[in-house]
Structure 1
C-alpha cells in the first residue's frame, strides 16, 4: 500500500491553457467560442463529439463570476462551497452520479483510457515529452503509440485482457508502451523499475504477462524468467545482444517511423475491463497487485482536473486561463503520483520534462532551459530543490538570486510521502504567493491523488492533506467501522470511482482491505470542516507506556529545525514502556547540531513523552524506496534497533 500525502503532479492548469485544440473536449467559458485557438475551459471531461457532449451548455457566465467573487471575499469555506457547487452541479463539467455499485462517478467524460488518449492527437506539434534520450510531440507520441499497439495485436497476437509488463526508467518510450497497451485493450503492469531479478520474478509469476516491454537496464533481470516461460519481449534503449524471444524497438522500422494516419487497432474496451495492475510498495510485506478498471483510471484522470479547477477559482481565476503547463517530472512513471501528473499534463496539452536521475543542480538548469512552471516530486527532492535554489544566490543569475533560479515556477507539487509542514512555510517566506504549494493524499489503491490541499488554504493548514474530490467519499472510522465525529481520530476509509477493485490473485487480502465497498487505508486521520489530516500510519504509531505518539507529528517538529534536512521517527523496543520514541535525522552539510539540541527543540513544542529518547544525527540520506517513503525497517536493522 503506497501512501501518498501529496497533491500529485502537474495538477494546476490540468484545467489547461488559454487554448486547447481537442475537438469536442474543451468546455468554453459560457458565451465564448470553442475550438482551436479560442479561449476554452479544458477542465471539462474530454470525449468525442461536440461541446454539448460535456452537457454544460446551460451554465451561464454569472455563476463563474460569482464563484470568483466568493473566492476573493472568503478564501476558505464559502469559496470552496461556491466553487464546488458550480463545478459539480447537474450538467456541469464535474457533475456526479451514484453508479450501480453504489460508488460516486463523474457523470460525463471518458469511460476508458483509450477514449481519453485518443483525444490528445489534436494537440499536434505541441511538445509532450522532453528527455535526454529524445523528445516527442503529441502527434509523434500518438503515431508511435498506435504503431506499437498494432504490433502487439497483429504480430504478437495479444488480445484484450492480456497483461503487458512495462519496466523502464523514465524514458519517453515508457509512456509510448503504456498507452499502446491501453489502445490494444491490454492490462498494463508497470512494476518498480528498481526491483532486483528476484523481485521482478515474484511479480511476473503473479500477473503472468504475455509480453515484456523493458529497457536495456532491466533486460538481464527479466530475460531468464521470459526464456523459461516462452514469453516474448521488446527492449528499448539497448545496443547489446538480445536473448531469444526479444526484439529491439529501434530495429523495427514501422515503430521508429510510424504512419501517422494508421490509427490504433480495432478492439473493444469496456469501462469494466481491467486497465492496470500496479504493485504496492511492499514496505510491510510482499507487494500486492492492485487492479484498477478502466472506469477507475478515468476517474483518476478527472480528479486532478477537478482539483485544478478548484485551485484556479480559489485564486480568483476562471479555469482555462493561463499558459500551458510545463512540468518537471521527477516521480518514477510506475508510481501512482506520476500517473496523476501525467494525466493532468495530457489533459491540458502540457509538456513533461524528464530527468534520467535526480540531481538538484540539474533540475535548476532544466527549469531555466525549458521555462518549467510546475515541479512534481517527493518532498525530499522538493526540499533539495529549494535548498539548491537558495544556495545558488545572486552570483548565478544576477541580483534576483534564488528567485531568478525558479523565476518561471508557479506551482510546487509534492507527493509520494508526507510533506513536512515547514516546507510550505519556507516556500512562502522565500517566494510569497508567486509559487503555489500543493499537497494531498493518494494511494496505489486510489489510483492517485484523491485529497488535495493547495494555495492559501494549504498555507493556513499545512498539516492537512486537503479535501476530497467529488467522487471520493471519506469516513473516519472507529474500531467497529462506524463513522466518527469531526475532531476524533480514526482509520481513514475511502470509497469512490478511482479506487481499485481489489488485489490480483489475492482474495484474502482483498477481503481484509475492503468492507462494503469502503477501502481501509491503514492510516489514522482526523476531519475538520471538510479537511482531512493524516495523523500517522496505524502500524507506525508508537505506543509508549500506554500513550500514543504519532511519528508524523514528531517528524514535522524536527523538520522545523533549521539544521534538519530530513527526519524519520520510529518506535524501538523498551523493557518497561513497551516502546520508546527514536529519531534518525539527516542534517544539512554546513550544520552543526547535537542530539541533545534536537531533543530540546522537540521538547519545546511537544509533550515530554513524545520527545525522542534516542536521536541519531547523520549527514547521509535516509533509506527510501522508489515511492519516496523512508524504509524504517532498514533503519532499525542498520542501527541495531530491531529488538
Structure 2
C-alpha cells in the first residue's frame, strides 16, 4: 500500500541537528517512499518508520563488521528500499555514505568498472555495496581497488547484534557527493549535517511547502538533485514521494506524467530541461494530452541541473496545457553539489521569466556597429535561498554591479567543507567562506541569471563564444535535438584556436551528410562569424556525465585522442 500524502504529524522543516534525527522524527508519522515499476504501478510502499527500522539494523550489521565513525561506505545508488536503508544505516553507524553511479546506456562494462575504480580510489571506502545484478562489474571494480565488495541482498542476511550507536554531531560529515563532471579527476564534495539540513530547510521555505504536498521523481540518487532534492529533502521535510527508476523514465518518459496524473496528491516534481523536452516531443504526434493526463494539481514543476531553455518550456506548456498544466507552475532554480544543492529558487507562481541579453554583453566585447544585434534569452533562476548570499565578481574578485556579467560566487551555511582529500582543489574555489561556482551570470533586482559555465567558454581572437549558442543554433535545424551537438575549442595545426562542432548524424547517405555538414557550417557561421570545424559523428557517440548531461570536456578529449571517429565526408 502507498504511503499517504498527509498525516497528523506536525510539520518541521529540517530543523534538526543531524540527518538521523530527521529520520527519527519522520518515522513517528505515516509518510514515506513509494517505488513503482516501469509502467508506474506500485511495487512497494516504504514508510519512514520501516526505513528507520531497517536502517538501524543495517547500522548494527556495519558496526559488527568493523565500520567506525568517519569510514567511507560506497553505495551503488540504485533507486530502491535497499539503497535507502543502507544510506541511512551508514549515517546511523557514523560513517560517510558515498553514492556512486549506475552504469549508463552509452558506456560499456569496462568504462563502468574504470569509472567506479577511479571514484573508489578517490573516496577510499571500507566497503562497496551493490545489487546482485551488478556484481560482475561492481564486484570487479571493488576487487581491483582492494575494497570489500558486498551484495546488499547478502548483507541483509547477516546478524544485526545489539551494539551502541555513535552519537553524531551537527558538524560531522553527513555524506560525500561526487559532482557530475569529470570522472577522471573526481571531486568528492564533503557535506556536514549542518550544511545539509540548512539547505533542506531552504528547499521547504523556497518552494513554500504546504500540508499534503506529494512528490514524484525519476532523478538518479547519485546526482545531487535526485539525492538531496528528491530523497533527503522529503525525509527531513516529511513529504511522501513516488519514484520511477531513471532507466524506466528513459525508456518511457511519459510514465513520469502518468504517475503524476495517477496520484491525486502529487503537487511537486523536478526535472532538468531535457526531461520536459523529451516529454513534449513524445506528445507531438499523439492524441490530446487531456485524454491521457491530468496535470492540474502540479503546483511546483521544478527545473534545474542544466541550462534552462525557455523555448523548451514553452513547448511543454503547448503540449500539456489542455491536460491542466499551468505555465506558472514552472519553478526555475540554480544550484550545485558544492553548495549542497540549492543556491537560488524562483518564488512559486512566478514561472519562467527571461531577459534578453545582447551577445556582445555575453562575450564581454563592445558592440560591433557593422553587425546586427543578436540577443539570447536568459532565464531568471530565482532569488538566493534562505541564508545564502550571491555575488557576481570580476576575475580578480572585484564585486560587480547589477546587470554586469561575471563569475558567480556564493556564501552560506550549506556550502561544502571542501573536496575530500584535495586541498588544492578546495583552496582554488573556496576563499573566506565564499564559493567560486565556476559559473557565469549576473544579478538583476535580486534575482540570479546564469549564462553558462566559465570553463566551457570558447575564446577565439580575444572574443568569447558560449558553446550553448552554437549548439542551440544547430538544434534549430530539422532532424537535430538537444544533446546531439557538442561545441568546444581546439587548436589547428597552424596553432590557431577555432571552434569545433561535433554533431550526431543519423543518416547513412553520403550526399545527405555532405549537405547537412554544409548547412551546419553556414548556421554556425551566422552565429559566430567564423568558419568552424564541423564533424558528423554516429548516434550515441557524445559522452555524458553521470547525471546525463553532455560532457563537452570529455567530448573534446575523446575527439583529440581519436576515440571519437567522425564520418569520412568528401570536402
Alignment TM-score, normalising by the size of structure 2: 0.78
User: Which one of the candidate residues 338, 343, 348 is aligned to 1:445?
Assistant: 338
User: Which one of the candidate residues 30, 41, 44 is aligned to 1:124?
Assistant: 30
| Contact map agreement 2:474 2:524 (CA 8 A) in 1 | yes
Q: Distance in 2 between matches of 1:137 and 1:18?
A: 11
Displacement of 1:407 in angstroms is: 2.0
Identify the residue that residue 337 of structure 1 maps to in structure 2.
225
| Contact map agreement 1:165 1:213 (CA 8 A) in 2 | yes
Displacement of 1:190 in angstroms is: 1.3
Q: In structure 2, do the counterparts of structure 1 residues 620 and 166 end up closer, same or farther at CA, with 3 Å as the change threshold?
A: closer
Q: Distance in 2 between matches of 1:484 and 1:136?
A: 49
| Contact map agreement 2:345 2:384 (CA 8 A) in 1 | yes
Q: Which moved more, 1:475-484 or 1:189-198?
A: 189-198
| Contact map agreement 2:500 2:534 (CA 8 A) in 1 | yes
Q: Secondary structure at the match of 1:281?
A: coil
Q: Distance in 1 between matches of 2:138 and 2:33?
A: 32
Q: In structure 2, do the counterparts of structure 1 residues 537 and 284 end up closer, same or farther at CA, with 3 Å as the change threshold?
A: farther
Displacement of 1:126 in angstroms is: 5.2
User: Which one of the candidate residues 524, 528, 537 is aligned to 2:453?
Assistant: 537
User: Which one of the candidate residues 405, 413, 430 is aligned to 1:514?
Assistant: 430
Cα deviation code 1:316-366 (max 9, x no counterpart):
xxx526x4323032x220111112122343324222212261445634235
Identify the residue that residue 58 of structure 2 maps to in structure 1.
148
Q: Distance in 2 between matches of 1:562 and 1:456?
A: 32
Alignment TM-score, normalising by the size of structure 1: 0.70
Instruction: Write out aligned runs for 1:209-228 (5 A).
Output: 209-223=125-139
| Contact map agreement 2:280 2:319 (CA 8 A) in 1 | no
Identify the residue that residue 169 of structure 1 maps to in structure 2.
78
- Asked if residue 386 in structure 1 is aligned to residue 276 in structure 2, the reply is no
Q: Distance in 2 between matches of 1:560 and 1:348?
A: 43
Identify the residue that residue 197 of structure 2 maps to in structure 1.
298
Cα deviation code 1:283-341 (max 9, x no counterpart):
285102211111111122112212211xxxxxxxxx526x4323032x22011111212
- Asked if residue 112 in structure 1 is aligned to residue 18 in structure 2, the reply is yes
- Asked if residue 492 in structure 1 is aligned to residue 408 in structure 2, the reply is yes
**What are structure 2's unaligned runs of at least 5 residues?**
104-110, 356-377, 565-571
Q: Distance in 2 between matches of 1:489 and 1:618?
A: 37
Q: In structure 2, do the counterparts of structure 1 residues 456 and 356 end up closer, same or farther at CA, with 3 Å as the change threshold?
A: closer
Q: Distance in 2 between matches of 1:306 and 1:123?
A: 21
Q: Secondary structure at the match of 2:225?
A: helix
Identify the residue that residue 304 of structure 2 maps to in structure 1.
415
Q: Distance in 2 between matches of 1:350 and 1:191?
A: 24
Q: Secondary structure at the match of 1:298?
A: helix
Q: In structure 2, do the counterparts of structure 1 residues 147 and 408 end up closer, same or farther at CA, with 3 Å as the change threshold?
A: farther
Q: In structure 2, do the counterparts of structure 1 residues 361 and 208 end up closer, same or farther at CA, with 3 Å as the change threshold?
A: closer
Q: Distance in 1 between matches of 2:5 and 2:231?
A: 19
| Contact map agreement 2:354 2:380 (CA 8 A) in 1 | no
| Contact map agreement 1:123 1:349 (CA 8 A) in 2 | no
Displacement of 1:519 in angstroms is: 1.2
Q: Which moved more, 1:381-390 or 1:620-629?
A: 620-629
- Asked if residue 578 in structure 1 is aligned to residue 518 in structure 2, the reply is no
Q: Secondary structure at the match of 1:376?
A: strand
Displacement of 1:585 in angstroms is: 4.4
Identify the residue that residue 368 of structure 2 maps to in structure 1.
none
Displacement of 1:136 in angstroms is: 1.8
Q: Secondary structure at the match of 2:65?
A: coil
Instruction: Write out aligned runs for 1:288-367 (5 A).
Output: 288-309=187-208, 320=210, 323-329=212-218, 331-338=219-226, 339-346=228-235, 347-355=237-245, 357-360=247-250, 362-365=252-255, 367=257
| Contact map agreement 1:146 1:265 (CA 8 A) in 2 | no
Instruction: Write out aligned runs for 1:222-261 (5 A).
Output: 222-223=138-139, 232-236=148-152, 247-249=154-156, 251-252=157-158
Q: Secondary structure at the match of 2:87?
A: helix
Identify the residue that residue 369 of structure 2 maps to in structure 1.
none
| Contact map agreement 2:26 2:238 (CA 8 A) in 1 | no
Q: In structure 2, do the counterparts of structure 1 residues 205 and 387 end up closer, same or farther at CA, with 3 Å as the change threshold?
A: same
Q: Distance in 2 between matches of 1:175 and 1:540?
A: 35
Identify the residue that residue 465 of structure 2 maps to in structure 1.
549
Q: Which moved more, 1:592-601 or 1:374-383?
A: 592-601
Cα deviation code 1:382-432 (max 9, x no counterpart):
3112211333x22xxxxxx12444423724333332233322121233344
Q: Secondary structure at the match of 2:17?
A: coil
**Bigger relative contact order, structure 1 or 2, given CA contacts below 8 A and separation 6+?**
1
Q: How many residues align?
A: 506
| Contact map agreement 2:196 2:340 (CA 8 A) in 1 | yes
| Contact map agreement 1:275 1:293 (CA 8 A) in 2 | yes
| Contact map agreement 2:390 2:409 (CA 8 A) in 1 | yes
Identify the residue that residue 628 of structure 1 maps to in structure 2.
548
Displacement of 1:518 in angstroms is: 1.1
User: Which one of the candidate residues 65, 69, 85 is aligned to 1:160?
Assistant: 69
Q: Which moved more, 1:446-455 or 1:531-540?
A: 446-455
Identify the residue that residue 191 of structure 1 maps to in structure 2.
100
Q: Distance in 2 between matches of 1:484 and 1:222?
A: 47
- Asked if residue 614 in structure 1 is aligned to residue 534 in structure 2, the reply is yes
Q: In structure 2, do the counterparts of structure 1 residues 123 and 555 end up closer, same or farther at CA, with 3 Å as the change threshold?
A: farther
Cα deviation code 1:541-588 (max 9, x no counterpart):
111221111223343444455654114322233467932334344589
